[in-house]
Amino acid sequence: MGDITSDILALSFDSMSSPSIQMHLPQHLDGTHPLGWGVAWYPNDNQAAIVKKDPAARGTDVQVEQLTDWNNLRSSVFFCKAKGAASGYTHHETQPFSRSFAGQDWLFMHNGDLDKKRLAELHKDKSRFLEPLGKTDSELAFCYLLGKVMETEARKLADVPNEVLLSWFDALDMLGSADMCISDGVTVACYYGRQSDRKLYYSRLVPPDHPTEFKSGTTVLKLSDPRDTFRTCLVISSAPYDAGAWLEMLPGQLIISRRGTVVWNSQPNTQQMALSFPATGNKPREQNSGAFGAQQAEQAQLLHQSVVNVRSVTQTPQGLPLGYRTFDVMHRTEYSYTEPVEHSTHVFRLQPVEDPIQEVVSAKFTVTAEGEEVQFEDVFGNQSIHFSINKPYTKLSITSSSRVKIYALPPDDYSLSQRRASIPLVWMPWQRQMMTSYLLPPELPETQLLELTEYAMSFVERNDYKLLETLKDMNLSIYHDFKYVPGATSVNTTPFEVYSSRQGVCQDFANLLICLTRLLSIPSRYRMGYIFTGVNYENKIQSDASHAWVEIYIPYVGWRGFDPTNGCMVTQDHVRVACGRNYIDATPTSGTIYKGGGTETLKVEVKMFEVTV
């Protein structure tokens, strides 16, 4: 093939974007051979792709935006290849290649040389459908991959197991240098060959601080369209750009991206944080072993009978032990005033929840002022206290002390037919009426809600509309992509402001996740409580204050907790206290001063310990 040098560039955005790509093609030594380039994308994220290519460009500078109005052609996937000097290439043989398969166009790029004779032997499918148009080894490799997809009866890359897709690329890698990228319009899979004489690099660009212009030896990438300010993007390139943090791909590495993020990495460069953390210090559950054993023996002889008291379940269906953890929690709030307060009323929500998986062993509540106390259960089921004070005070201290047991639950079984939930969820009219409070997103400008809806849909699309996978991805992405910055926000900060700044605290991350899920018609509520961090969590500050997370209602499962601040599911580290539509419904202490007070000073102290004896 001569002295071909070429660069590939693959972009995967979380939503439709309009990048600008300018290419500077390398000059051949004797200047006699033509140069080539190709760009492909899916306009408006339709299944049909557009491919623009020129196998014999007459100059070294290519302004792609002069060929097409990029501002009006938006896509979440872009492929670009700048081909170095070579003779004899035609339009049919210039990459990227496009081929229709399973109701959509697929794109493919390849850098390198493969043994075409051995490749023809490997590509056993001789159907006319998989016959190449040109004569290149690259297009034959493309047909081979589509043939393997057809053999598995898959219709998209997401249907192919990741390890299986890797094995197909490994087979091609045995035939020569195989730097390859393939896409079905949603998923982008990029493989770096073991015999390649070039490098491949990748970087994930996260707003709002990533640069808007990137330069390499061959291409200039501009992400300056104001509509794309908050887009995340995964970039895979033959050369690192002059801005951003770039990782070099390892030989034999396959990266699968979907909607702007890496969904699978065969050789991860960094450890990925799990969505749940192992519980420590579990104690065996208290039970009468003889009576309970007899009960189990009796139940074993009956069909369709199960233990409904979850506290008495001591092991998972796989035989793993289930225990409880005990915590002591002290929450003290202290108000100080420059002038005496003569009359005030307060509402306190400080008692932990009592239910099948959380047991309140003891609870004590004290206030350093005389007043009228009314205990009640509010409309959200929170144990609350209304406190009215009519005697002057300059300091008010409220202390709540509790001992709580948290019982472990067996993992949810999503194999049941009713639990195979996918998005969109379908609610019966009475269900929607009951859930209305948890389905309405916050009142924000329509433009902001549209932007947040696009962001939410990017998670749905890259998880193939699967409910639980989408929720876990949202939860973990907020943990990875947003910075925990105390003091950067206030109680009035909106979810859009958190989304645009990519920073906040636990309350902000909870509000954002609530907003995203409700925009997808998934019920969610705000949960206030405490978290025991121990040595497992990065945000140690959460042990010293009340914590906030989200509970999401999953059909035929129930309310399940998601903690975006720590990127985990709620298990036995969280003590649940109050819940509601938002922060106002679940705030630990609130009140109104009717007379006096002056300037207020607030101090909050939370201490949480695990009881091991």
Question: What is the DSSP secondary-structure string of 56-74?
Answer: EESSSEEEHHHHS-GGG--
Tens digit of pLDDT for each residue in 402-445? Answer: 999 999 988 888 888 878 789 999 999 999 999 999 999 999 99
pLDDT value of residue 240: 86
Q: How far apart are CA 562 and CA 581, in angstroms?
A: 15
Q: How far apart are CA 413 and CA 276, in angstroms?
A: 16
Q: How far apart are CA 175 and CA 14, in angstroms?
A: 34
Buried b (16+ CB within 10 A) or exposed e, 575-592: bbbbbbbbeebbbbbebe
pLDDT value of residue 5: 55
pLDDT band (50, 70, 90) for residue 341: very high
Q: In percent, how much of the chain has pLDDT > 70?
A: 85
pLDDT value of residue 1: 33
Tens digit of pLDDT for each residue in 548-567? Answer: 999 999 999 999 999 999 99
| Calculated CA dihedral for residues 136, 140, 145, 149, nearest 10 degrees | 140
Tens digit of pLDDT for each residue in 203-244? Answer: 999 988 888 888 887 788 888 888 899 999 999 998 888 888
Residue 288 has pLDDT above 80, yes or no: no
Q: How far apart are CA 548 and CA 511, in angstroms?
A: 9
| Angle formed at CA 513 by CA 447 and CA 561, multiple of 5 degrees | 160
Residue 602 has pLDDT above 80, yes or no: yes
Strand 483-484 vs strand 503-504: parallel, antiparallel, or unpaired?
parallel
Give the tokens for residue 382: 């929170």
The DSSP result for 519-571, as a single string, is: HTT--EEEEEEEE--TTT-S-GGGGGS-EEEEEEEETTTEEEEEETTTTEE-S
Burial of 226 (0-12, 13-18, 19+ CB in 10 A): exposed
pLDDT value of residue 534: 73
Give the tokens for residue 273: 């944080």
Least confident of 7-21, 190-204, 263-277: 263-277
* CA 590 from centroid of its chain's CA atoms: 33
| Residue count (the chain) | 613
Tens digit of pLDDT for each residue in 478-515? Answer: 999 999 999 999 989 999 999 999 999 999 999 999 99
Q: How far apart are CA 388 and CA 490, in angstroms?
A: 27
Residue 553: how many CB atoms within 10 A of its CB?
18
Between residues 462 and 543, the one the model is more confident about = 462
What are the extents of the domains in the chain? 6-98+105-110+179-265, 420-586
Give the tokens for residue 241: 């750009």
Least confident of 89-93, 227-231, 346-350, 564-568: 89-93
pLDDT band (50, 70, 90) for residue 280: very low
Mean pLDDT of the chain: 86
Q: Which one-letter amino acid corresponds to residue 363?
A: A
CATH number of the domain at 420-586, please? Answer: 3.10.620.30
pLDDT value of residue 279: 40
| Residue in the block written with tokens 């210090």 | 281
pLDDT value of residue 381: 94
| Calculated CA dihedral for residues 100, 157, 137, 266, nearest 10 degrees | 170
pLDDT value of residue 4: 46
Q: With the C-alpha atoms ordered 192, 194, 195, 199, is the resulting torsion angle positive or negative?
A: positive
Q: What is the layout of strands, in order, in the sheet containing 253-258?
A: 97-101, 104-111, 179-183, 187-192, 253-258, 261-265
Largest separation between any pair of C-alpha atoms in the chain: 96
Q: How far apart are CA 49 and CA 120, in angstroms?
A: 27
Give the tokens for residue 286: 């208290």
Q: Tell me the helix, strand and coil percentages in the chain, rounded to 5.
A: 25, 35, 40
Contact indicator for 217, 25 with CB cutoff of 8 Å: no
Least confident of 65-79, 271-285, 323-337, 349-363: 271-285
Tens digit of pLDDT for each residue in 124-180? Answer: 766 677 777 878 899 999 999 999 999 999 999 999 999 999 999 999 999 998 899
Q: How far apart are CA 126 and CA 132, in angstroms?
A: 10
pLDDT value of residue 120: 83
Q: Which CATH architecture has domain 6-98+105-110+179-265?
A: 4-Layer Sandwich (3.60)
* 231 closest CA partner among 243, 222, 218: 222
Residue 34 has pLDDT above 70, yes or no: no
pLDDT value of residue 55: 77
Query: What pTM was estimated for this model as a whole?
Result: 0.85
Between residues 91 and 145, the one the model is more confident about = 145
| Residue in the block written with tokens 């030989």 | 251
pLDDT band (50, 70, 90) for residue 49: very high
